[in-house]
Amino acid sequence: MQENIDKRDRAAQFRLRLARAMEDRHVSQSALARHIGVDRSTVSQLLTDHGARLPNAHVVGGCAAALGVSADWLLSLSDRPESAAEILASTLSITEAPRALVDERIFDWHKEAAGYKIRHVPAALPDMLKTRAVLEWEYAPHLGRTADQAIGASEDRLTWMRSAQSDYEIAMPLYEIESFASGTGYYHGLCPEIRLEQIDHLLALCEQLYPRMRIYLFDAKRLYSAPVTIFGPLLCVFYAGSHYLAFRDRDRIKTFSRHFDTLVREADVAARDFPDHLRQLRADVSGKN
């Protein structure tokens, strides 16, 4: 975006950009005049007038619409010639989110971001950290007879994600891990043996992968976050239940990265303290059985 540009320079830039857009789209002066409802002489004047005066909003808007560019670009208020709708379409995509483990779309995003830091606020305990027993308990009711096959197919992807050269920062609300340990809320009905096995598995992963994988717990009474994954500087994906909302706009990625940094900075349980917190939860589960 150009700021504080002189009126004469802005007018000259308008003429250059208008001529460029007409040439790129093979639109003649006569054709453009018909599109915007003016005389051909008016278009000729737009291209040759050396004054500082810009055309009115109706003419600028008509030229932009006819040539498939944005009025802001013609007026040097933006460096991007695409229309707002085109920019939005290129930076935001909405795709279906099947009730599955690591589907093709998620796996492709992880592969694309290999080597970058991946920040993740999961909707529940992260799939990539779950034992097979927890995966079966959670997904079998939805996958039916194909559950074993689907889980088996996903295990290779989960293993790849854990071994990829990406740093993972995971931020969860405190109640998520505590609900899991106590078998309440979403995890109601999950037997203590499976919960203890899962906690041991988490402890092993923390020991194996730290500091490349860091888990933080924040207080949801003070902070809130929708389920979101930020794949380095490449994209930011929100999980909306039945769909993923993926942003590739750098400014939005930076905004949500700052949001994630707040979750980490104000976490009640830091990554280095997470194993001790797990051990205490494990002791509580064992003490009740």
Tens of pLDDT along 107-163?
A: 889 889 988 999 999 999 988 889 989 988 988 777 666 667 777 767 777 777 777
Going by pLDDT thresholds of 50, 70 and 90, the confidence category of residue 252 is confident
DSSP characters for 207-263? HHHTTTEEEEEE-TTT----SEEEETTTEEEEE-SSEEEEE--HHHHHHHHHHHHHH
Whether the model pTM is above 0.75? no
Q: Which burial class, exposed, middle or buried, applies to 168 when counting CB atoms under 10 A from its CB (0-12, 13-18, 19+)?
A: buried
pLDDT score of 66 more than 70: yes
pLDDT-above-70 percentage for the chain: 90
pLDDT 10s digits, 7-34: 788 888 899 999 999 998 899 999 999 9
Asked if 238 and 227 touch (Cβ cutoff 8 Å), the reply is yes
pLDDT 10s digits, 172-219: 999 999 999 999 999 999 999 999 999 999 999 999 989 999 999 999
| Token pair recorded at residue 112 | 């694309």
Give residues with Cβ within 8 angstroms of 49, minimum separation 6. 11, 15
Question: Residue 143 to residues 40, 73, 185, 242: CA-CA distances in angstroms?
Answer: 65, 50, 22, 16
pLDDT score of 2 more than 50: no
| Token pair recorded at residue 20 | 């460029």
Give the residue among 97, 12, 103 at the shortest CA–CA distance from 54. 12
Taking phi over 0 as left and psi of -120 to 50 as alpha, with beta for the rest, 157 belongs to alpha
